[in-house]
Amino acid sequence: MFGSILRAIAVSLLGLSAIAQAADSRLNNAFRKQTDGGWIFVHLEGSPSAIGYQNGYLLENEIEDAKRAMELSVTHDTKHPWSDLRTVSETIIWPKVPQEYKAEIEGIAEGLKARGSKLDVFDLVTMNGYMEFSYYYEELKRRAGKPGSVASSIGEHCSAFVATGSYTKDGRIVIGHNNWSDYLSGSRWEVIYDIIPSSGHHFVMDGMPGLIHSADDFGINDAGMMITETTIGSFHGFDEKGVPEFARARKAMQYSESIDDFARIMEDGNNGGYANAWLVGDRKKNEIARLELGLKYVTLERTKDGYFVGSNFPINPKLIAEETDFPIKDPNTPNEVRHRRWDALMAEYKGRIDVEAGKKFETDHYDMITKEIDPNERTLCGHVDRSSRGMKPWQGPYGPAGAVEAKVADAAMAEKLSFVAGMGHPCGVEFHAKEFLAAHPEYKWQAPELRDLKANPWITVSAAPVTERAAAGQ
């Protein structure tokens, strides 16, 4: 009897603790909800520490899951244990993170702790910077005179475009992006973040649980900026004294009000980690740009009538020669084949590009080499998990990787902080982990965390209305 009473008291105390946590003022107006298309919509607002706390508290289960998948992926790719990555995070990355974002990451850790998680600040820094570790270790190898390996990475692929003027149906900006990744981490790109920070601009972006940035970098802010990117193929270079890419990318999303603002923020303290060609639109000026951000060479192009596309091909000849191992003399590399497909689509759809066309582009399976519909590493919607004809050995391993989600927006949607998003494989081609692992036992090391990718429908996501935010704060 006495034991039963003690257990009842313990349960009651746990309930009171949960109520106290839920009443934490840092959770005011924050909420999460599941969408029909597989996305988790999360609204965060307030000070940096409050936004972080909300992120950690609302997404604790997903953050724990994402950490397990990311650890499995990044430790396999870098050949370094998580403890090594944490050390790099603590000694090299963390000191360069601006104070605002330190407070936000510390807030995530506090929110996680309130839910019983044991993940700490440096686990979170490592998660936020996970795309930069390969650049860091690559640079160390090169300095030691050892051969590099970035060229073989299958994680640097994405397909993106931005167009305006005579190329679009209404003469205004249309932007789109699909995110290629290994399926281990990429299947966790499942969050739509709607963030109202106490300073800077209200913005919406896709992202992964527990991160302070989009990571595949698709977002829109209320100052009129429309932002995305694709990684520079086979890039090498890293400056330990620089500011981590994830902090600069988040700052640019939150604070930029023009293309010049965006370029300045991204260049300030550039460390070379996760080097990208950024595709940017300023809907207020109806101007678009491409910022190819190398470590030594930076190229900014802009226009009010034209397009820029990305499929991981470098542009600046000096950057290609000095900062990449890109096989520029081979016109049939997957990245260049996709580049040709982009140019063909832009010409075919000139004057007709809108959101519906963008959805077709980002799920396109036409192979410019075979002239067939054949989802593979050379198509804009990539499927490295499927066999590709004519692939050369250097083009990377056959494996569970490819496009894991896609987003498109036009200027009218951007005014409302809205875009269309397809989670998983909006192209309709599904990936089934159990079947893949049965056919390819060499990937059994991924079995604990490898997920199916379903063919989810496109949905429209938008910033939460004032009434919904207010209801969450009651």
Is 164 part of a structural domain of the chain?
yes
Q: CA-based Rg of the chain, rounded to a whole angstrom?
A: 22
0.75 cut: is pTM over it? yes
Cβ–Cβ < 8 Å for 357, 338: no
Number of domains in the chain: 1
Is 399 part of a structural domain of the chain?
yes
pLDDT at 397: 55
> Whole-angstrom Cα distance, residue 256 to residue 344?
32
Is 365 part of a structural domain of the chain?
yes
pLDDT at 148: 63
Is 177 part of a structural domain of the chain?
yes
Find the helix or strand (DSSP H, E) in which 225 lies: strand 225-231
Beta bridge partner(s), residue 6: none
Instruction: Enter the tokens of residue 169.
Output: 């149906």
pLDDT in tens, the chain (474 residues): 434 444 443 434 333 334 344 558 999 999 999 999 999 999 999 999 999 999 999 999 999 999 999 999 999 999 999 999 999 999 999 999 999 999 999 999 999 999 999 999 999 999 999 999 999 999 999 999 887 654 344 445 799 999 999 999 999 999 999 999 999 999 999 999 999 999 999 999 999 999 999 999 999 999 999 999 999 999 999 999 999 999 999 999 999 999 999 999 999 999 999 999 999 999 999 999 999 999 999 999 999 999 999 999 999 999 999 999 999 999 999 999 999 999 999 999 999 999 999 999 999 999 999 999 999 889 999 998 864 444 443 344 578 999 999 999 999 999 999 999 999 989 999 999 999 999 889 999 999 999 999 999 999 999 998 777 767 765
Helix axes 60-78, 99-114, angle to 10 degrees: 120
Is 389 part of a structural domain of the chain?
yes
Is 199 part of a structural domain of the chain?
yes
- Residue 403 identity: A
Q: Which domain holds residue 167?
A: 154-465
CATH of the domain at 255: 3.60.60.20
Instruction: Enter the tokens of residue 261.
Output: 């603002």
Is 319 part of a structural domain of the chain?
yes
pLDDT at 149: 57
Is 447 part of a structural domain of the chain?
yes
132, 227, 279, 416 from 283: Cα distances, Å: 30, 11, 13, 12
